[in-house]
Structure 1
Amino acid sequence: MAIEINFELSDADLAHFKSMMDKVISKTSHYSESEILTKAQQLVDEMEKSELPEFVRTRMASLATLIDAVQDKEWQIPEEERKDIIASLAYFSEPEDVVPDHIPGLGYIDDAIMIELVLQDMSLDLKAYSEFCSFRATEESRRGEDAKVDRESWLAGTRAQIRSNMRRQRQGRKSRLFSRIM
């Protein structure tokens, strides 16, 4: 027999989780990028082996995609965006959890909330990377092996276009937010 539990986090709740994230990130500033990526990947691997509720599993997959984006040499993520993602992933390199991970069904709830906060901040980056991966897979199958010579130029053009769209969307978000504040 399964039980479904729904809850809503208020702005104050989200602010609390965000401040927790900021504290952990400041504590992890001595970690190298490599350590942060390794520890975040270890969490993803550990979560994949667990029986996770669906709401955690879907967020975990997005976290894995962010890790992939940073490590994908063909994506060539700009340094500023790379730093933003690494800072967001730093939370997951700290072993202390609000809810211990070993508690069945609930152990990853705090991780899911933190992943959701990261995804809200990084949603445009995640979307842009996903678009790039889709283009790359489609184009590789369409172009065939003999067209690999010019591969870097079509990847570069696609990266530039996707990032330009992402930055325009980011500016649009900021403009809408600013107009609501005024």
Structure 2
Amino acid sequence: MRITIEIETKDLARFHQSLKRSRHVAQEADEADILDAAKQALDSAPLATAPTYVRKRIGGVQRLITMLEDDAWALPAPCRIDVLEALVYFSDPEDLIPDDIEVIGLLDDAIMLELLLRKLAPVLRAYADFCKFRDELAATRPATRHEYAASLARKRDALRARLGRSRRAA
């Protein structure tokens, strides 16, 4: 069965209002603390009993954490704040719908994650391209570590430039 939720502008405003606090926390809090809180929220989330549509969106949280922790990718600061904002919202058990309410407790998290993952789609695509390039590069075994690092840096810089263009266009 497929159920479609239509979110109107006034409803979106509630989500954006709720995100303001998350953005403030993302800018002020220690990144390691936010990552730890997101990992703990993932570990303690009642995913086994959560509906599939919730589980699918929450899977995006792990991708965001992995991307932030990837030193070779080194996500630029403006994009980092956007990702941290999503993690802060997800980690808050008392967001729009408290997470411990069975079946619907993670519904707001799933909706917010869907909105934020759409916003972060260019960043996630760039990161996926970087990971694919890194895997292919490792398979070809560059002659030296310096060549490997230089190739990765060139690819990362090109992908960051692409991100910059997409952010300016938005």
- Shorter-normalised TM range: 0.7 to 0.9
Q: What one-letter code is carried by the residue in structure 1 that aligns with 2:168?
A: Q
Q: Unaligned stretches of 5+ in structure 1?
A: 175-182
Q: Unaligned stretches of 5+ in structure 2?
A: none
Alpha-carbon distance, 1:86 to partner: 1.9
Identity of aligned residues (%): 33
Alpha-carbon distance, 1:25 to partner: 4.0
CA separation of 1:103 and 1:84: change in aligned 2, threshold 3 A: closer
Q: Which residue of 2 is the match for residue 127 of structure 1?
A: 125
1:18–1:117 contact (8 Å) kept in structure 2: no
* TM-score normalised by L of structure 2: 0.84
1:61-88 deviations in Å (ceiling 9; x for gaps): 2221111111101102222322332233
Show structure 1 runs of 4+ deviating over 6 A.
none
CA separation of 1:128 and 1:29: change in aligned 2, threshold 3 A: closer
* TM-score normalised by L of structure 1: 0.79
Aligned pair partner of 2:159 in 145, 159, 162: 162
Q: Which has the larger radius of gyration?
A: 1
1:99–1:107 contact (8 Å) kept in structure 2: yes
Q: CA RMSD in A?
A: 2.4
Q: Following the alignment from structure 2 to structure 1, what is the Cα–Cα distance between the partners of residues 23 and 92?
A: 9
Q: Which residue of 2 is the match for residue 180 of structure 1?
A: none
Report whether the alignment pairs 1:171 with 2:163: no
1:41-67 deviations in Å (ceiling 9; x for gaps): 222233485233222222212221111
Aligned pair partner of 2:150 in 153, 156, 170: 153
